[in-house]
Amino acid sequence: MKIDMENLSDEQTKIRNNIYLKSSIWSGLIVFVISIFVYFYFKNEYPIICYVLSILSFLILFPVVFMVIKTAEFHGVYCKNCNSPFSIALQDVDESLICSVPRQRSRVVGKSISGSNEGLNRVIHESWIEEKYEVLKTYTCICCSNSYIKKSNKTRETNKTSDEYYD
Ligand SMILES: [Zn+2]
């Protein structure tokens, strides 16, 4: 995939800049966590070098992770139909309910040590409705208007109630 960075429309430039921003934030966060890990890993053995190692790992890993995320994102918005970069935009999301199943669960969370319930288990009873949805996301190319649909599933819990009793 060779990307022509010139001759981008305003909309394509917007999509491209968004990817740059998103990729920088994500790679920054991921590499920051890794460099903190490096710091604590070497902290006891090398009290001073651990700072250097931590900063070095950030500086070395950041461009690598950034490239990986950016490349994956570029692929996601590349239209195979008309070969335009930065052209795929989410146009519509449609969720439809497939099924809803009532669920419940009881669990013992402790024992009463005084009062009228002394010696009894404290039980929490929860019930909810588990709803399964089919999600259809429609993506459209802003250059050639070609659209395609991505299908996925999603589960949501609703009507949650919980009450406590002694048993
Ligand atoms: Zn296209």
**pLDDT for the residue 6:** 73
Return the DSSP state at 84.
-
In a domain, 3, yes or no: no
Q: Is the domain of 71 the same as that of 93?
A: no
Q: Is the domain of 71 the same as that of 94?
A: no
In a domain, 83, yes or no: no
Residue ending a domain, among 28, 44, 76, is 76
CB atoms within 10 A of CB 17: 11
pTM: 0.69
Contacts of 154 (CB under 8 A, 6+ apart): 95, 132, 133, 135
CB 141 within 8 A of CB 81: yes
Q: Is the domain of 71 the same as that of 95?
A: no
CB 87 within 8 A of CB 77: yes
- Cα(39) to centroid of ligand 1, in Å? 46
Residue 151, phi then psi, degrees to nearest 5: -105, 135
**Residues 21-44: tens digit of each pLDDT:** 999 999 999 999 999 999 999 988
**pLDDT for the residue 2:** 63
**pLDDT for the residue 82:** 92
In a domain, 4, yes or no: no
Q: Is the domain of 97 the same as that of 60?
A: no
Residue ending a domain, among 23, 55, 76, is 76
Rg (CA), the chain: 26
Q: Is the domain of 63 the same as that of 95?
A: no
**Ion ligand 1 neighbours, Cβ < 5 Å:** 79, 81-82, 84, 141, 143-144, 146
Q: Is the domain of 95 the same as that of 148?
A: yes
Cα–Cα dist 128/75, whole Å: 40
Q: Is the domain of 93 the same as that of 160?
A: yes
In a domain, 70, yes or no: yes
- Cα(137) to centroid of ligand 1, in Å? 17
- Cα(88) to centroid of ligand 1, in Å? 7
Residue ending a domain, among 53, 76, 99, is 76
In a domain, 38, yes or no: yes
What's the domain range around 109? 88-166
- Cα(17) to centroid of ligand 1, in Å? 19
CB 142 within 8 A of CB 98: no
Q: Which regions in the chain score pLDDT beneath 50?
A: none
In a domain, 59, yes or no: yes
Token digits of residue 101? 């199943």
Q: How many domains does the chain have?
A: 2
Q: Which amino acid is at 64?
A: V
Q: Is the domain of 95 the same as that of 160?
A: yes
**pLDDT for the residue 39:** 93
